[in-house]
């Protein structure tokens, strides 16, 4: 599904989308979690797939209309930059080496996106919309950096774990603020997390910026911090460590997907979180503390975003500079699209993170051939595709309607009509 | 002859009135406690703000005890903040204070920063009063900011720039309306998608049309020069008025007009009644023959046009250029202002002014030499204030009953 190829012309799903025939629907499905449940029942690999294809199709149209360039060759150029052609057995020799390097870059981004995607997805399952990935990511970056810079004499493994843990904790605390506000005074988490994003952005800019307390004293003319000590750096297992090879953080992200699944589906906490997500009132009557779960879900989800920040710092950035603080918004917002497109399931998150990671890396200035398509345009194209994905994944009503119609039809066939409401 | 019940009622009313007066006096005292320590007064003794503040807190608590729970509590908080601010200011060097507080300049800047928030929050008011959450205000503002520039540039007329900007915001709002009303998507998810789309569309077209050169010369929305203000009798007052409100942009005044118009429309016309009824109880509105869908569509589209107006002001009226993501979260602050203002036009106006004040004061704080190292930290001030505001320090606000809930026709 990660092949960014536009679909053949004449897409049937476009016609579906334009059809607003929904009058006969007896119930409103408003809660996010209830909708997720629906996805489960529709066996919904199809919705995200159609959505992605449709979004890429529209993206291709945009390319065609605005620049007159062939969308196929544009997508082809983007695809070549992702390194995904490494998986093709017929790619050999030097081309394969380049592909391997590109793929390492793609997977580096994928690692981050998986973690921020989980951050959004976990909160989603509790009925919360965590847009605060950016702030939590910045908090994680800075905390991990500090622990990485301090304690230069610590052994390798404990230092790594300590630094990554500090990042996760910082993310949890930052998100926890929004969780507490939601639980106690009912402040809407969307607004509070966005405000926390901006606050983190400015605090981060202050800390690493000129004359900031964390700025590297040896480089007063660059807004950058000192480098984390050698012991805290994550091991590189694929590629050249000097050329940003793929670090073990990738496995941390995979492990996080497993943890995400286990916590959600096999623990009391996960049960309560999901119960609150499905229906907070019912959960309250069932004796579950809604406020406590709001706080915990936010904090846990923030821990994942903070972990994303620390993995980036310890894995390949090694220092925080002003640009990485400011670029964090892009990463965190793609996390939302990752979670939505991945239907908040571990496997779905993995594949959509790969898709967006490839898209991000393929449209980067370094990888996209500017003679084919301008990288600055392409990165905005990514945003448009992302927006369309979120828009259409949210509009599951069509699927809902089809599903209901099918179920109704089956019931009618099986027996005489059940009493109408 | 008055019955006993009436006497009790009357005395209760008097008690209520006293409580209210005490609360208002407490707020005034809190503001005064801060004000005396600032230029032009700059009282240097801490005692004055402390005494004023304590008096204010006492009055606020009195008002609270006498039944004005929310007002009293708010007043006590304001008095406390005023006292703390006053003590802090009394400690700061006078020169520093003078750099930060030049009242006429602060007022002018507050109005400039508040204007986009006012437009967007009034836009949000229409949408949310009709029962549709509009997280997409940010994106609609951004559309207005870009297409205002594009339209103004291509047609060489700021009027057309404004109109084209508004139309673009309305078009994006129409998408939001279709997805949240007809397709019954989750309105917050749909709004987030709107923000992404706006970011992508404006960024893409900006680079496609203007590239690295930037927007260049643009037709500007003119300022309204009220020179006659300086001739108002007491000499100081005249020049103060002229400096603070004498040279504001046309759209600043338009924003105030919008607030008044919004109040009239929402609370004094049939249309407003329909919008509110659809937002409070769509089923009942439907029963009496109001088209819920049509009303909501109209409200959301109006909200998009108004939010875009705020964006146009940012680009054509304020900065005179466009940069990617130039709204920088203002749409969300406007949303917070709306909530803080309890979904009322003048409440939203007050909240927007408060956030405008924070934005106006932030860059001025950086001008103080000894604080310059904290420079960027002050930029967080408006956002921090918003966070505190939504956290409900000053009472909870109750949203329209049917907000965020799609309506299904029967």
Q: Domain count of chain A?
A: 1
**Continuous H helices in A126-188:** 133-149, 156-185
The number of beta carbons lying within 10 Å of the beta carbon of residue A41 is 12
Q: Is the preceding omega at residue B322 within 30 degrees of 0, hence cis? A: no
Question: Residue A233's domain spans which residues?
Answer: 45-414
Is B182's pLDDT higher than 70? yes
Structural domain includes residue A400: yes
| One CATH from 1.10.287, 3.40.720, 1.20.272, 1.10.3470 for B103-390 | 1.10.3470
Tokens standing for residue B8: 């009790």
Is A9's pLDDT higher than 50? no
* Nearest CA-CA partner of A61 in A75, A77, A50: A75
Subunit contact B186:A386, Cβ cutoff 8 A:
no
Per-residue pLDDT reduced to its tens digit, A35-70: 666 655 555 677 777 778 878 888 888 878 877 778
pLDDT band at residue B185 using 50, 70 and 90 as cut-offs: confident
Structural domain includes residue A149: yes
Q: Provide the b/e sequence for A328-345 (b: ≥16 CB within 10 Å).
A: bbbbbbbbbbbbbbbbbb
Q: How far away is chain B from the Cα of A357, in angstroms, using its nearest Cα?
A: 17
Is B275's pLDDT higher than 90? yes
Beta-carbon pairs below 8 A across chains A and B: 164
What integer is the mean pLDDT of A224-237? 85
* Nearest CA-CA partner of A264 in A344, A350, A165, A190: A344
Q: Which of residues 2-21 of B touch A (CB under 8 A)?
A: none
Instruction: Tell me if A336 sits within 8 A of A277, measured CB to CB.
Output: no
* Nearest CA-CA partner of B243 in B255, B261, B225: B225
Structural domain includes residue A23: no
Mean pLDDT of chain B: 84
Per-residue confidence (pLDDT) for residue B12, from 0 to 100: 61
Per-residue DSSP letter, A236: E
What integer is the mean pLDDT of A244-261? 92
Rounded Cα distance between A391 and A52, Å, is 11
- Of residues B135 and A394, the one with the higher pLDDT is B135
Residues of A in contact with B384 (CB under 8 A): 195, 199
Nearest to A194 among B194, B332, B380 (CB): B332
pLDDT band at residue A353 using 50, 70 and 90 as cut-offs: very high
Per-residue confidence (pLDDT) for residue B171, from 0 to 100: 95
Per-residue pLDDT reduced to its tens digit, B249-271: 899 999 999 999 999 999 999 99
Write phi, then psi, for B64 (nearest 5 degrees). Answer: -65, -45
* C-alpha radius of gyration, chain A, whole number: 23
What integer is the mean pLDDT of B284-308? 94
C-alpha separations of A219 from A1, A182, A226, A317, A324 in Å: 45, 42, 9, 17, 17
Per-residue confidence (pLDDT) for residue A304, from 0 to 100: 96
**Continuous H helices in B178-249:** 187-209, 235-245
Per-residue confidence (pLDDT) for residue A24, from 0 to 100: 38
Q: Which of residues 67-126 of B touch A (CB under 8 A)?
A: none
pLDDT band at residue A314 using 50, 70 and 90 as cut-offs: very high
Is B144's pLDDT higher than 80? yes
Rounded Cα distance between A124 and A121, Å, is 5
Is A176's pLDDT higher than 70? yes
Per-residue pLDDT reduced to its tens digit, B328-357: 889 988 988 888 888 899 989 988 998 898
Share of chain A above pLDDT 70, in %: 84
Tokens standing for residue A418: 């059940």
- Of residues B233 and B262, the one with the higher pLDDT is B262
What integer is the mean pLDDT of B179-207? 87
Residues of B in contact with A198 (CB under 8 A): 328-329, 380, 383
- Of residues B325 and B393, the one with the higher pLDDT is B325
Instruction: Tell me if B296 sits within 8 A of B173, measured CB to CB.
Output: no
Per-residue confidence (pLDDT) for residue A122, from 0 to 100: 94
Q: Please give the model's pTM, rounded to 2 decimal places.
A: 0.81
How do beta strands A236-238 and A246-247 pair?
antiparallel
Instruction: Tell me if A278 sits within 8 A of A37, measured CB to CB.
Output: yes
Rounded Cα distance between B53 and B76, Å, is 9
Per-residue pLDDT reduced to its tens digit, B84-113: 888 877 777 777 777 677 778 888 889 999
pLDDT band at residue B8 using 50, 70 and 90 as cut-offs: low
Nearest to B185 among A382, A386, A394 (CB): A394
Contact partners, residue B184, CB within 8 Å, separation at least 6: A22, A28, A29, A30, A397, B406, B408
Structural domain includes residue A38: no
Question: Strand, helix or coil at A225?
Answer: strand
Per-residue confidence (pLDDT) for residue B359, from 0 to 100: 87
Instruction: Tell me if A347 sits within 8 A of A148, measured CB to CB.
Output: no
* Nearest CA-CA partner of A350 in A238, A248, A247, A251: A251
Per-residue confidence (pLDDT) for residue A242, from 0 to 100: 75
Least confident piece of the model among A66-80, A278-292, B174-188, B361-375? B361-375
CA torsion A195-A198-A202-A207 (nearest 10°) is: 90
Structural domain includes residue A17: no
What integer is the mean pLDDT of B135-148? 93
Per-residue confidence (pLDDT) for residue A382, from 0 to 100: 82
Partner A contacted by B401 (CB < 8 A): no
Is B239's pLDDT higher than 80? no
Per-residue confidence (pLDDT) for residue A137, from 0 to 100: 95
Q: How far away is chain B from the Cα of A200, in angstroms, using its nearest Cα?
A: 8
Q: How many residues does chain B have?
A: 410
Per-residue confidence (pLDDT) for residue A28, from 0 to 100: 46
| Domain of residue A220, CATH code | 1.10.3470
Q: Using CB atoms within 10 A of its CB, is residue A266 exposed (0-12), middle (13-18) or buried (19+)?
A: exposed
Is B69's pLDDT higher than 80? no
Q: How far away is chain B from the Cα of A132, in angstroms, using its nearest Cα?
A: 13
Is A26's pLDDT higher than 60? no
Domain boundaries, chain B: 4-92, 103-390
Which residues does residue A215 pair with via DSSP β-bridges, in sequence order?
A: A225
């Amino acid at each position: 599904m990660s092949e960014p190829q536009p679909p053949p012309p004449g897409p049937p799903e476009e016609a579906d989308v334009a059809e607003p025939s929904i009058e006969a629907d007896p119930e409103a499905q408003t809660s996010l979690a209830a909708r997720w449940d629906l996805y489960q029942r529709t066996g919904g690999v199809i919705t995200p797939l159609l959505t992605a294809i449709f979004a890429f199709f529209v993206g291709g149209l945009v390319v065609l209309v605005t620049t007159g360039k062939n969308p196929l060759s544009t997508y082809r150029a983007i695809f070549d930059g992702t390194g995904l052609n490494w998986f093709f057995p017929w790619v050999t020799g030097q081309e394969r080496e380049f592909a391997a390097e590109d793929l390492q870059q793609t997977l580096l981004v994928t690692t981050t996106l998986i973690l921020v995607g989980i951050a959004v997805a976990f909160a989603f399952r509790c009925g919360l919309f965590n847009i605060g990935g950016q702030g939590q990511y910045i908090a994680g970056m800075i905390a991990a950096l500090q622990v990485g810079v301090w304690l230069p004499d610590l052994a390798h493994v404990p230092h790594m774990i300590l630094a990554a843990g500090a990042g996760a904790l910082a993310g949890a605390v930052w998100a926890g603020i929004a969780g507490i506000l939601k639980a106690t005074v009912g402040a809407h988490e969307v607004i509070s997390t966005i405000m926390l994003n901006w606050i983190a952005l400015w605090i981060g800019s202050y800390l690493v910026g000129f004359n900031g307390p964390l700025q590297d004293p040896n480089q007063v003319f660059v807004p950058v911090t000192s480098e984390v000590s050698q012991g805290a750096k994550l091991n590189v297992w694929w590629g050249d460590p000097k050329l940003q090879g793929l670090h073990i953080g990738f496995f941390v992200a995979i492990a996080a997907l497993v943890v995400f699944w286990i916590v959600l589906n096999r623990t009391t906490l996960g049960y309560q979180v999901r119960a609150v997500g499905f229906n907070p009132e019912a959960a309250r009557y069932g004796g579950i503390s809604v406020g406590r779960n709001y706080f915990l879900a936010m904090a846990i989800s923030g821990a994942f975003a903070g972990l994303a920040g620390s993995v980036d710092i310890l894995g390949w950035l090694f220092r925080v500079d002003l640009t990485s603080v400011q670029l964090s918004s892009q990463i965190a917002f793609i996390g939302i699209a990752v979670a939505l497109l991945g239907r908040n399931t571990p496997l779905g998150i993995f594949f959509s993170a790969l898709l967006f990671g490839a898209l991000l890396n393929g449209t980067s200035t370094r990888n996209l051939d500017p003679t084919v398509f301008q990288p600055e345009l392409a990165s905005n194209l990514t945003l448009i595709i992302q927006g369309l994905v979120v828009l259409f994944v949210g509009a599951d009503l069509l699927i809902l309607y089809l599903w209901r119609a099918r179920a109704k039809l089956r019931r009618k066939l099986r027996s005489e009509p059940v009493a109408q409401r | 002859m008055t019955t006993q019940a009436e006497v009790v009622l009357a005395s209760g009313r008097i008690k209520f009135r006293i409580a209210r007066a005490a609360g208002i006096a407490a707020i005034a005292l809190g503001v005064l406690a801060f004000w005396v320590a600032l230029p032009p007064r700059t009282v240097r003794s801490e005692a004055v703000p402390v005494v004023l503040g304590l008096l204010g807190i006492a009055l606020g608590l009195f008002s609270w005890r006498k039944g004005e729970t929310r007002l009293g509590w708010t007043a006590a908080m304001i008095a406390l903040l005023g006292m703390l601010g006053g003590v802090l200011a009394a400690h700061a060097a006078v020169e520093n204070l003078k750099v930060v507080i030049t009242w006429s300049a602060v007022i002018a800047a507050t109005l400039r920063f508040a204007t986009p928030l006012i437009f967007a929050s009034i836009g949000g008011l229409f949408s949310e009063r009709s029962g549709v959450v509009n997280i997409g205000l940010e994106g609609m503002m951004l559309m207005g900011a870009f297409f205002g520039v594009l339209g103004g540039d291509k047609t060489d007329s700021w009027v057309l720039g404004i109109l084209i900007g508004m139309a673009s915001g309305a078009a994006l709002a129409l998408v939001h309306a279709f997805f949240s009303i007809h397709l019954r998507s989750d309105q917050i998810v749909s709004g987030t998608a709107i923000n992404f789309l706006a970011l992508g569309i404006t960024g893409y077209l900006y680079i496609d049309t203007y590239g690295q050169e930037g927007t260049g010369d643009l037709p500007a929305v003119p300022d309204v020069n009220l020179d006659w203000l300086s001739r108002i009798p007491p000499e100081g007052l005249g020049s103060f008025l002229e400096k603070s409100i004498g040279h504001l942009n046309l759209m600043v005044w338009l924003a105030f007009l919008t607030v008044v118009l919004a109040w009239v429309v929402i609370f004094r016309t049939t249309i407003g009644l329909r919008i509110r009824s659809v937002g409070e109880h769509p089923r009942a509105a439907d029963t009496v023959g109001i088209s819920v869908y049509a009303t909501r569509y109209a409200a959301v589209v109006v909200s998009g046009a108004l939010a875009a107006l705020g964006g146009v002001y940012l680009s054509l009226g304020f900065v005179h250029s466009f940069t990617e993501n130039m709204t920088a979260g203002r749409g969300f602050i406007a949303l917070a202002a709306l909530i803080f203002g309890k979904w009322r036009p003048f409440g939203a106006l007050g909240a927007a002014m408060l956030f405008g004040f924070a934005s106006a004061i932030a860059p001025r704080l950086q001008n103080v030499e000894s604080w310059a190292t904290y420079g960027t930290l002050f930029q967080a001030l408006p956002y921090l204030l918003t966070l505190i505001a939504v956290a409900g320090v000053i009472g909870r606000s109750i949203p329209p009953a049917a907000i965020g809930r799609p309506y299904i026709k029967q």
